[in-house]
Amino acid sequence: MAILSPEMIKNLRAHRYSSEGHCIMEFPGVCKYIAEKLPRRLSPNAITLFGLLSSFTTCVLAAYHSCIGNEEGFRSMLYFCAFGFFLWLVCDNLDGIVARLRGCCGPFGEVLDHGGDAVAVVFAAVTIISCFNFQGSPLSTFVYVLSDVATNYISEPYTIYILGKFYIERIDFNEILLIWVAIALLTGSYGSGIWLYEIIPSTGFQVRYIFYSVKVCIVIILLHGKFIALCSSAHRSEKQRTARLLPLVPLMVVLISASIAYVSSSEEFLKQNVIQLALCFSFSIVKFHIELMVAHMVKSEVNAFNTSLILPISLALGIAISGEPSMEMRLTVFSLIVIMLDTVVYAARLLYEVYHATDVRLFILDYNDNNIRNNEK
């Protein structure tokens, strides 16, 4: 069964991506200069994929070395991870400028960009939390991963769905990416112990608390800007105000289910499997992230109570009932496999349908130089 109906495809073809604002670290003049020097037939989708794959690949390799306890391999991979984060930052700013210069902004690129960012944030959060080496603090790991994914959900698809455009704050996601680059470089150079170093021994104030403070400030500024933009939007009827809250329902259901699962889990299970548990609920949010993007593009109301909520709720109830570490582990591994497959299959089917509905050029633009020059004017 197709994800997009004929009416949705009609609205999809008429959709135009809209954004407003610039963040401090975006450097639009520099990115425009680089974009003008790139091959004229290079598709912005290829740039997006290159940035996402560089970040995704390095994150997976670094997290793998962390999980198997290979400290030397982990620190070596973090240098590449920092480079991958930097490429992600550059490509994320560059693809939109190239798309506008080439006159090929479209729904496929929007889904690929924002949907890919949602997946990349999950793996980046796991990699960064591995830098802090919180062996005895599963709560820190659990909260950190889920908070990053939830913040990205509110910052991107929710704001776009309500405002009809992507509103970029002066301090936005680019600043978080630069912090990740710095963390990867510092951990690769000095090891995970640097974050546990006590600056003020008498108070127990550690280096990692500085990072937490900066990160929390950036998130507060980012979300405050989105909140102000939402509040200052046009006056809406009661029905529209209710519709504005619907996209938050699945997010809250997943976070509540995650809280129940964490509180109900045994301490032995959490010490060994907290990352897998966090990934289960994170990928559930990623799927809602993509679904909300689609609802915005096809001009339909988001389905807040769909079957995607079954697995997070079932996992939370299963862990609450089981009470045994071995059963909790089996439930988590099974749920993680199913949730990841469900998200990946949904995203692949969606991209396939959008690709054929909009006749997009994936990697190489099918324009001659004269057409490209006309689009750039």
Instruction: Provide the β-strand partners of residue 167.
Output: 20
Instruction: Provide the β-strand partners of residue 166.
Output: 19
pLDDT value of position 22: 79
Pull the structure tokens for residue 225: 């800007």
pLDDT value of position 369: 44
Average pLDDT over residues 221-242: 71
pLDDT value of position 284: 94
Where is pLDDT greater, at 245 or 50? Answer: 50
3-state secondary structure of 142: helix
Q: What mean pLDDT is reported for the chain?
A: 84
Contact 351, 108 (CB under 8 A): yes
Q: Distance between CA atoms of 29 and 44, rounded to whole angstroms?
A: 17
Pull the structure tokens for residue 64: 């793998």
Q: Is the pTM of this model over 0.85?
A: yes
Average pLDDT over residues 176-189: 90
pLDDT band of 372, cuts 50, 70, 90: very low
Contact 126, 59 (CB under 8 A): yes
Pull the structure tokens for residue 372: 């490209």
Q: Distance between CA atoms of 179 and 160, rounded to whole angstroms?
A: 25
pLDDT value of position 132: 79
62, exposed or middle or buried, with CB in 10 Å at 0-12, 13-18, 19+? buried
Helix (H) or strand (E) holding 186: helix 173-190
Tell me the HSE value of 221 on the side-chain side, using a 13 A CA sphere: 16
Contact 166, 156 (CB under 8 A): yes
Q: Distance between CA atoms of 192 and 24, rounded to whole angstroms?
A: 29
Percent of the chain with pLDDT over 70: 91
Please, which residues have CB within 8 angstroms of residue 223's CB and are 6 or more apart in sequence?
A: 151, 154, 155
**Which of 24-28, 41-45, 197-201 has the lowest average pLDDT?**
24-28
Secondary structure tally for the chain: helices H, strands E: 15, 4
Q: Distance between CA atoms of 367 and 349, rounded to whole angstroms?
A: 27
Q: What DSSP line would sit under 49-110, residue for residue?
A: HHHHHHHHHHHHHHHHHHHTT-HHHHHHHHHHHHHHHHHHHHHHHHHHHHHHHHT---HHHH
Please, which residues have CB within 8 angstroms of residue 245's CB and are 6 or more apart in sequence?
A: none
pLDDT value of position 136: 56
Tell me the HSE value of 78 on the side-chain side, using a 13 A CA sphere: 28
Q: How many other CB atoms are there within 10 angstroms of residue 88's CB atom?
A: 27
Q: Which has the closest alpha carbon to 114: 97, 92, 99? A: 92
pLDDT value of position 236: 52
pLDDT value of position 363: 64
**Maximum distance among all alpha carbons in the chain?**
69
Interval 254-269: pLDDT, tens: 999 999 999 999 888 8
pLDDT value of position 134: 59
Q: Which has the closest alpha carbon to 49: 134, 117, 101, 99? A: 117
Please, which residues have CB within 8 angstroms of residue 229's CB and are 6 or more apart in sequence?
A: 159, 163, 167
Interval 299-309: pLDDT, tens: 888 887 777 88
**Backbone φ, ψ for residue 206 (5° rounding):** -100, 165
Q: Distance between CA atoms of 44 and 92, rounded to whole angstroms?
A: 10
Give the chain's domains with CATH numbers: 24-369 (1.20.120.1760)
303, exposed or middle or buried, with CB in 10 Å at 0-12, 13-18, 19+? middle
pLDDT band of 370, cuts 50, 70, 90: very low
pLDDT above 80 for 25: no
Q: Distance between CA atoms of 193 and 182, rounded to whole angstroms?
A: 15
pLDDT above 50 for 377: no
**Which of 46-50, 168-172, 241-245, 286-290 has the lowest average pLDDT?**
241-245
pLDDT value of position 250: 92
Average pLDDT over residues 148-154: 92
pLDDT band of 166, cuts 50, 70, 90: confident
Pull the structure tokens for residue 9: 């495809």
The most confident of 7-21, 169-183, 256-270, 347-361, by mean pLDDT: 256-270
pLDDT value of position 333: 92
3-state secondary structure of 199: strand
